[in-house]
A and B are shown apart, each in its own frame.
Chain A
Amino acid sequence: MAVTMDSTVVAVSDQVSATMQGEAIVLGLEKGMYYGLDEVAALVWSLLGEPRPVAEIKGRIVAEFDVDESTCERDLVAFLDDMDAEGLIEVRDGQPD
């Protein structure tokens, strides 16, 4: 399912992750692959422990980093699509239950 600003996203349980000095590493257990996340991506990842509206995540990034809304929206959706393709997140329609 493609990610939109109306989606809700959550990390899958089949992974473990570590954060260190603001950055993060995620190990996807199904593929046995490690993924390195920079500071912005690590912030996104830290929010995905529970179902989270994409729009809320965008709001957090815009509040904490020097980025305009349209650029943030484009990059965030692309990032979440990549995470979905790697099996690291689950994408749902609409708001969390």
Chain B
Amino acid sequence: MSGGYGIDVIGGPSWPSSGNIAIGSIQWTEAPSRNLPSLSDARDGDDWRLEYDEDRFWVSLEGGASYMVELPDDGAATVTAVLEGWPLEKASLFFILGLLPLALPRFGLTPLHGAAYSTDGVTACLVMGDSGTGKSTTLATQISRGATFLADDACAIDQRGSLWPAPPYWASRDEPSGADHDYIGKAVHRAERTADGPLDVGCTIVLRPEPGSALGVERLPAQESLLAAIANQRSPWLFTSRDEQARRLTATTAVAGRPVGLARYDQDRHEPGELVDAIDAWSGSLSHPTPTSSVQ
């Protein structure tokens, strides 16, 4: 099994390689029964439980698989999966798309909540916004126009502000066909075009639908750009040491140092294609001065 985000997952079932240059790896093993330790912090969802401390976390899904992920500082990371009747491919896909992003900080990568694509093969465009604002729809529209898929849901950003491509599979409510697997209710299939390595983030779009709003994209000032990026850090409560926080702020600041545009539109009046036209017009008008930022 090959992972994504520059992280190889070794020893699991065979999945198509993302082609990424690996910056770390996780060893996958399977165990016949659950043996999950009690860790210092916990989160609960409708049908899952997550417990974590600074070196490891585990996730247990009601009626499904469990995963114990250990992340020592020496980089010898492991995941132990208890399938509990889940097909191996489903369990490994859930791990890659749902759990692997949680481990990104331990590989020097900051997970941001959003989608990403590339129209030029050189730079990435991030799409952020609250749930239901149209991130996946915007991504699907760009893909249908020939853009390269980079990420959906989790974007892995390194210290230079470059985006490491997601696994070659993606999940989208808006993709009508071609589903190979089901992942928490979403159709999942392999993207036709993926990137081989990290791409610099050229710009970020923050989607903000508002009833009655005119369609348009405006550039956010520096501090609002940074706050928008910070607000989209994924799982900021996990791994909270000062060094980790500083790494995340460095990566987030690097992204926010590139142009960030606020896209306003009316979901009832403006079609996805019109929104994408406005985004492309704005991003095409940008110049890219050297960002001036630092983290202490």
* A residues in contact (CB < 8 Å) with B: 13-14, 16-23, 25, 27, 29, 32, 34, 36, 38, 49
Contacts and interface: CB of A to CB of B under 8 A. Distances in A.
A26 to B, nearest CB: 9
Interface residues of B, number: 22
A16 B240 contact: no
Interface stretch (B126-134, B186-194, B249-257): B249-257
Contact of A21 (B227, B246, B293, B296): B293
Contact of B249 (A16, A22, A32): A16
Given A23-B223, A25-B253, 12 more contacts: A16-B245, A16-B246, A18-B226, A18-B250, A20-B225, A20-B257, A21-B222, A23-B222, A25-B223, A29-B245, A32-B240, A38-B223
B223 A16 contact: no
22 contacts: A17-B249, A17-B296, A18-B226, A18-B249, A18-B295, A19-B293, A19-B295, A19-B296, A20-B223, A20-B226, A20-B253, A20-B256, A20-B291, A20-B292, A20-B293, A23-B223, A25-B227, A25-B249, A25-B253, A27-B245, A27-B249, A38-B223
Contacts of A36: 223, 227
A20 B222 CA distance: 6
Nearest to A38: B223
Contacts, number: 58
Contacts of A22: 222
Given A23-B222, A23-B223, A29-B242, A16 B296 contact: yes
